[in-house]
Amino acid sequence: MEGQTFKKKERLRLKRNFKNVFEKGGRLIDNNFVIIYVPNTMDYNRIAVIVNRKFGNAVVRNLIKRYIREIYRTNKTFFPLGYDFVFIPRKELSKNFKGIDYSQIKNQILKLVRKLEA
């Protein structure tokens, strides 16, 4: 359980870091998510979640952000170390969001991350 925390240092926060990810990052894409990643020089990952206002109201946007952060927090071992990740849920997911549960979202994200390791 010790490794299942989401520390402040694991958050991607600075504008220059976001700029670096968007300019130099690779992309993992499926119908519901885009994950942009770039190697960093640290021995841990940093993540951010960006949800467009068109995704839904604030309640829905915050819920998907919590889901993604929780998926990362509880499945850190599946993520290769030394990367900055930006998760962007796509509009397709917002259309089906009420019909999709947490485990389906988790499976989709972990499937995308496995592509990075391959």
> Is the whole-model pTM more than 0.85?
yes
Residue 1, domain member (yes or no): no
* Cβ(36)–Cβ(22) below 8 Å: yes
pLDDT of residue 59: 94
Residue 41, domain member (yes or no): yes
> How far apart, in whole angstroms, are the C-alpha atoms of residue 110 and residue 33?
11
Residue 118, domain member (yes or no): no
pLDDT of residue 2: 60
- The greatest distance separating any two alpha carbons of the chain, rounded to the nearest whole angstrom, comes to 39
Q: 36-69: per-residue pLDDT in tens?
A: 999 999 999 999 999 999 999 999 999 999 999 9
3-state secondary structure of 20: helix
pLDDT of residue 104: 95
Report CA torsion sign: 94, 90, 108, 84. negative
pLDDT of residue 76: 94
In the predicted model, residues of the chain with pLDDT beneath 50 are none
How many structural domains is the chain composed of?
1
pLDDT of residue 1: 53
Residue 43, domain member (yes or no): yes
| CATH number, position 54 | 3.30.230.10
Domain carrying residue 63: 8-113
Residue 47, domain member (yes or no): yes
pLDDT of residue 4: 87
